Chains A and B, each alone.
Chain A
Amino acid sequence: MYEKNISEDRKKYLRKIKKNKALVILTQISIVILFIVGWEILANQGIIDSFITSQPSRIFDTFLNLSSNDLLMHLGVTLTETLIGFVTGVFLGVFIAILLWWSKFLAKVAEPFLVILNSLPKVALGPVIIVWVGAGMGAIITMGLAISLIVTILEILNGFLNTDKELIKMAKTFNATKLQILTKIVIPANISTFFNSLKVNIGLSLVGVITGEFLVSKAGLRLPNCLWRSSI
């Protein structure tokens, strides 16, 4: 916006938006601080058993001793695995969703398989994945991928198919090709679908990777295990 002379009302409005945003962030930070402080106090008072729940000060100490337990290395490994799983999941998911949007025939053929694959407990596939890919990073990433991929495909395809038909018809009145409809209408109209799917996906990839690490890992966070053990 390049408005030259901003009115008093406009200034007031802009200030209100800024204030609102600051308030949201402030509240979020307060919740985190309150949670940590509350946890620490409850553990110190012996109201909760710190043997089971640990406590913030001990976790902090453990972090300071990163070199003694290689936490940093483990963190790096898990992060790398998650990122590789996440990025592959998103790209592959979007690519397959585009294919299925492009060909109604393919989508119809794929539908029952997608539903079955989606309801399959992927964690149970763990041992099979180890046999196929070998016990190592590959198996862990595959696990992460297995958990996030199908959901990505389903979510993005659903967004694509629900694009406003009027917009597509409008593009067709200008003789748009299918590729143009995809790139100029369907994809931009689904930006929010993409972001929603990214949010869900990063979490799912992490779940997949941690599960994978439980099964095979030589290195990595195995968050519950590693952090808990080293902090008590």
Chain B
Amino acid sequence: MKKVLELQNVSKKYQAKNGEVDALKSISFSVEEGEFVSIIGPSGCGKSTLLSIIAGLEPKTDGQIKITTPIGYMLQKDSLLEWRNIYDNVMFGLEISRKKTKESEEYVTNLLKKYGLYDFKDKYPNQLSGGMRQRAALIRTLAINPKILLLDEAFSALDYQTRIMVTNDIYKILKNENITALIVTHDISEAISMSDRVVVLTKRPATVKTIHSIDFEMESRNPINCRESPKFSKYFDTIWKELDVHV
């Protein structure tokens, strides 16, 4: 398998008026093509910062990042624009990068049809359910044809049931479109259920504590059926202990 993303000793320091804050300290790991990798860590440890740095939204202080394919980014909120209908919303990325062509429009229309949003293309975001909004946000990201998708707590704004369904939904879509995913989450079960590997970070300044390979030895695994595997709770326990949560 070829590596599509590689981080070497990535560090980040924040400068504030009252001093320097070490957010990330020499983070190294890599992601292979087609792989789903989750990053998990105590809250406030800098997981989201790490994604922002990979996406190029924030500068890093030190280290190297190698990316070989185009990336897409999905945020916690769907951030659909209320004044645009669903079609114009999913075209937003293409419009911004001036790649709105006949082919790309056709591609987006196909995605909308494939994932059940075509009948809603003239509706406005506030007329859609939370799950559908999230799917629209995903199609907006897929429209620019990324090969790696960064998901930043992409499901945490949804209620529990919707969240399980949407996770499953998006997992299938991404596997279907053959996209590599790097997922930031604070939810241990979500991390285990979605990924091939889980990267556990320590608290601030964040370093890589361990990297777990998740293998349920199942055929046609998905985020719902893998929860029934006896290995699921074992993984959960191990990661829970490593996170070392104190209240």
Contact surface of A with B, Cβ cutoff 8 Å:
164, 166-167, 169-176, 180, 184-185, 188-189, 191
Return chain B residues, CB-CB under 8 Å to A180. Answer: 96
Return chain A residues, CB-CB under 8 Å to B75. Answer: 166, 169-170, 173
Q: A166-B76, A188-B83 are in contact. List 15 more A-B contacts (CB 8 A).
A: A166-B75, A166-B79, A169-B57, A169-B75, A171-B92, A171-B96, A172-B57, A173-B57, A174-B96, A174-B97, A174-B144, A175-B96, A184-B92, A184-B96, A189-B83
B224 within 8 A of A: no
Task: Please name the residue on chain B nearest to A169 by beta carbon.
Answer: B75
Is B96 in contact with A176, judged by CB distance below 8 angstroms?
A: yes
Report 12 cross-chain contacts, Cβ distance below 8 Å, ordered by A residue.
Answer: A166-B76, A166-B77, A169-B75, A169-B79, A173-B55, A173-B75, A174-B144, A180-B96, A185-B81, A188-B81, A188-B83, A191-B83
Q: How far is the CB of B210 from chain A (nearest CB, A)?
A: 29
Q: Considering the chains assembled together, what is the distance between the CA atoms of A174 and B144 in angstroms?
A: 9
Task: Please name the residue on chain A nearest to B71 by beta carbon.
Answer: A173
Return chain A residues, CB-CB under 8 Å to B73. Answer: 173
Describe A's contact surface by its main secondary structure.
helix
Task: Please name the residue on chain B nearest to A175 by beta carbon.
Answer: B97
Q: Considering the chains assembled together, what is the distance between the CA atoms of A174 and B75 in angstroms?
A: 12
Q: How far is the CB of A172 from chain B (nearest CB, A)?
A: 6
Task: Please name the residue on chain B nearest to A2 by beta carbon.
Answer: B122
Return chain B residues, CB-CB under 8 Å to A172. Answer: 57
Return chain B residues, CB-CB under 8 Å to A175. Answer: 96-97
Task: Please name the residue on chain B nearest to A181 by beta carbon.
Answer: B96
Return chain A residues, CB-CB under 8 Å to B141. Answer: 173
Task: Please name the residue on chain A nearest to B137 by beta carbon.
Answer: A170
B131 within 8 A of A: no
Q: Which of B62-98 contact A (CB under 8 A)?
A: 72-73, 75-77, 79, 81, 83, 92-93, 95-97
Return chain A residues, CB-CB under 8 Å to B95. Answer: 184
Q: Considering the chains assembled together, what is the distance between the CA atoms of A71 and B95 in angstroms?
A: 54
Q: How far is the CB of A6 from chain B (nearest CB, A)?
A: 16
Most buried by A among B83, B96, B141: B96
Task: Please name the residue on chain A nearest to B143 by beta carbon.
Answer: A174
Which one, A170, A184, A188, A191, contacts B79 given CB within 8 A?
A: A170
Which one, B77, B83, B92, contacts A174 given CB within 8 A?
A: B92
Task: Please name the residue on chain A nearest to B52 by beta carbon.
Answer: A169
Return chain B residues, CB-CB under 8 Å to A189. Answer: 81, 83
Task: Please name the residue on chain A nearest to B150 by beta carbon.
Answer: A173
Is B93 in contact with A174, judged by CB distance below 8 angstroms?
A: yes
Q: Considering the chains assembled together, what is the distance between the CA atoms of A167 and B78 in angstroms?
A: 9
Q: Considering the chains assembled together, what is the distance between the CA atoms of A172 and B57 in angstroms?
A: 7
Q: A173-B73, A174-B97, A175-B96 are in contact. Are A167 and B57 (CB under 8 A)?
A: no
Q: Considering the chains assembled together, what is the distance between the CA atoms of A176 and B93 in angstroms?
A: 9
Q: How far is the CB of B137 from chain A (nearest CB, A)?
A: 8
Task: Please name the residue on chain B nearest to A188 by beta carbon.
Answer: B83
> What per-residue 1/0 map shows which CB atoms of B32-55 lie under 8 Å from chain A?
000000000000000000000001
